[in-house]
Amino acid sequence: MSQHRRPHLQVLVDFYHCAVGPQALQHSTGIRHTLREAIQKSGMRIVDSLFHRFAGQGQGVTGVFIVAESHLIVHTWPEHRFLTLDIFFCNATGSNERKAQHAVRWLVAHYRPRWITTRRIRHTQGTRTHSPGPRHPPTLRRARPRASAVRD
């Protein structure tokens, strides 16, 4: 077995006060379609997906896309107009970092959150690369979608 350890990249993004409104955050079919488009436009390759809409009026959605690079998970809370993403890559290359950035930019342009927080975590097999909790505090910034994020 090789001693070379490649870092894994995890990008956690929270979308606050999405302008699309609660209805768009409680329909699993629409969320699946939107994420599928973001994933494909970013260059990731979809393997499979599974989505679940929680029972009851105004309840959210949890969904996962298994991609060749690893996974993308979404959770929504329509009553708070809140959405969270977990994008994980088994190989933290520059091209995968760009894929994650492109997908997030495209989703920001679609959901139009008032602000977002982003955390990037690099995991290394067999070693502890950070203490419990975030090594760096999350980045809080106003969401400003770029016009180029929705073109392709």
Q: What would the DSSP string read from start to end of 92-110?
A: --HHHHHHHHHHHHHHHHH
| Residue 75 among the catalytic residues | yes
Please identify which of the residues 8, 28, 42, 70 carries the catalytic annotation. 70
Please identify which of the residues 27, 49, 75, 123 carries the catalytic annotation. 75
Domains, the chain, ordered by start: 7-150 (3.60.90.10)
Q: What percent of the chain has pLDDT over 70?
A: 75
The mean predicted confidence, pLDDT, of the chain is: 81
For residue 111, pLDDT over 50 is answered with: yes
For residue 57, pLDDT over 80 is answered with: no
pLDDT digits (tens, 9 = 90+) for 83-108: 999 998 876 566 778 888 899 999 99
How many residues make up the chain in this entry? 152
| Average pLDDT estimate for 32-44 | 94
Buried/exposed code over 44-59 (b: 16+ C-beta within 10 A; e: otherwise): beeeebebebeeeeee
| Average pLDDT estimate for 105-129 | 83
Strand order in the sheet with 82-89: 46-53, 61-67, 70-77, 82-89, 7-16, 115-124, 139-142
| Average pLDDT estimate for 66-76 | 92
Reading the block at residue 75, the tokens are 């959770």
Please identify which of the residues 27, 49, 90, 123 carries the catalytic annotation. 90
pTM of the entire predicted model: 0.76
